Chain A
Amino acid sequence: MRGFVTKFTSLYTHISKVKVSTNQLHNEFIKLIAEHERMIYKVCYLYVDDETDRQDLYQEIIIQVWNGYQKFRGEAKFSTWLYQVALNTAIAGFRRAKKPVVVYTDGSLPEIAEYTADNTQLEALNKAINLLNDIEKALIMLYLDNKTYEEMELIMGIPSGTLRVKMTRIKEKLKKITKTYSNGNR
């Protein structure tokens, strides 16, 4: 009887420990997401136009980040790793054109921060970025987010030399598009 009680107590302690560590992991994760959420918003806004699709993409990124987070060893910076996961989900996520709206158990919808341009120049830039292809969009986003070429290489897997050439071309392309847009607005 005493053996059974001891075994039961140790099992209960083990379950409690697992529960505490899971809760800790959840809290850590929520904190990290809160710190880096704008990064995810940027990716969502860059790759999806429709609000519902954006919410779906945001959720898919969060799920992928959570799945990977439990195995994340911290070999790279969290922001670098997060960009990899977010971009991989957005670029090669095989999204459909139209999807039903997700309603959560509490009846609410995930809200995504409003990302509006506050002047015409930025609006022109946003419109110009939207005309780029998926890979160019990722590169310009990383560039505007002040990522170094080394970090961009880690995220994209493209050698920094090629990245520099690509960035020069993208800048030229954007300049041309924004100029056309500005002239058209006058």
Chain B
Amino acid sequence: MEIDEFKEMFNKNVNASTVVNKNIMTMIYADSNSPLTALEKKLRITLYIFPVVTILFSGRFFFQEAKHHGPTSWLLFGILSLEFLVSLLNYMVTRSLRRAEGPVKQNLIAKLTLLQKRYKWYFAAHNCLILLIAVLLEITIHYHWDSNFEGWSHVNILLRIVVYIILFITQFIIKYRSQKDHYGQYIEKLQVLSGQMQ
């Protein structure tokens, strides 16, 4: 039998369908069960947490004397702000991924490009940040800016470097795995779909 002969049968069969959904408006205002919505919710929570933590942390700068504001405090403040920016960016990316308008091919390509860019950018930014922390820590130790690190400064420089490298590799593996779980599998899926379009 030719496929064209199925057309009528296929449409007739669909028209024979019975039960009709009556909950359209309830559905619209109910929470979606899609994984992207779940991710969006998680990220929204981090958006609420970081400003609160940052405000609490910044209290140190307003209520304490300037001489007590070590560079490490500023560094931590900077990291918190950066983490907040990353969360905001992730939230925006997730919202963009939920967009379902436009032709299927263009929609897929747009999502794939967005995820790939975000994946690369996030890794680069995060690794730079970790390196920056190590460098700033060494500068702080060298100029004795923060008495909290006096103990660390007595440790052999080579051992310190080894510790930095171990920490860097550990965080890299953890981040790589978590990113692969969150985004990597979607990138792979979109690449497969994109290939099917050709």
Given A30-B24, A88-B104, A125-B6, A117-B97 contact (CB < 8 Å): no
Given A59-B33, A60-B32, A88-B104, A104-B27 contact (CB < 8 Å): yes
> Is A49's beta carbon under 8 Å from chain B?
no
For A145, give its contact among B11, B19, B197 (CB under 8 Å).
B11
Residues in B18-44 with C-beta less than 8 Å from chain A = 18-21, 23-28, 30-37
Q: Which residues of A contact B99 (CB under 8 A)?
A: 88
For B101, give its contact among A68, A91, A100 (CB under 8 Å).
A68
For A111, give its contact among B15, B21, B31 (CB under 8 Å).
B21
Q: Which listed segment binds A: B56-64, B105-113, B124-132?
A: B105-113
Q: For the complex formed, measure the closest distance between the CB of B185 and the CB atoms of chain A, giving whole angstroms.
A: 9
Q: How far does the alpha carbon of A108 sit from the alpha carbon of B163 in the complex, in Å?
A: 57
Q: For the complex formed, measure the closest distance between the CB of A47 and the CB atoms of chain B, giving whole angstroms.
A: 12
The A interface is mostly helix, strand or loop, or mixed, namely: helix
> Is B196's beta carbon under 8 Å from chain A?
yes
Residues in B157-194 with C-beta less than 8 Å from chain A = 186, 189-190, 193
Return the chain B residue nearest A39 by Cβ. Answer: B14
Which positions in B face A, CB cutoff 8 Å?
1-3, 6-7, 9-11, 13-21, 23-28, 30-37, 97-108, 111, 186, 189-190, 193, 196-197
Which positions in A face B, CB cutoff 8 Å?
26, 29-30, 33-34, 37-38, 41-42, 56, 58-64, 66, 68, 81, 84-89, 91-96, 99-100, 102, 104-106, 108, 110-119, 121-122, 125, 133-136, 138, 140, 143-146, 154-158, 171, 174-175, 178
Q: Which 10 A-B pairs have the closest CB atoms?
A: A157-B103, A157-B105, A113-B17, A88-B100, A135-B196, A64-B100, A56-B33, A144-B10, A111-B19, A85-B100
- Other than A56-B32, A66-B28, A144-B11, give 13 A-B pairs with Cβ distance below 8 A: A30-B25, A38-B17, A85-B101, A95-B34, A104-B26, A105-B30, A111-B19, A114-B17, A121-B1, A143-B7, A145-B10, A156-B197, A158-B105
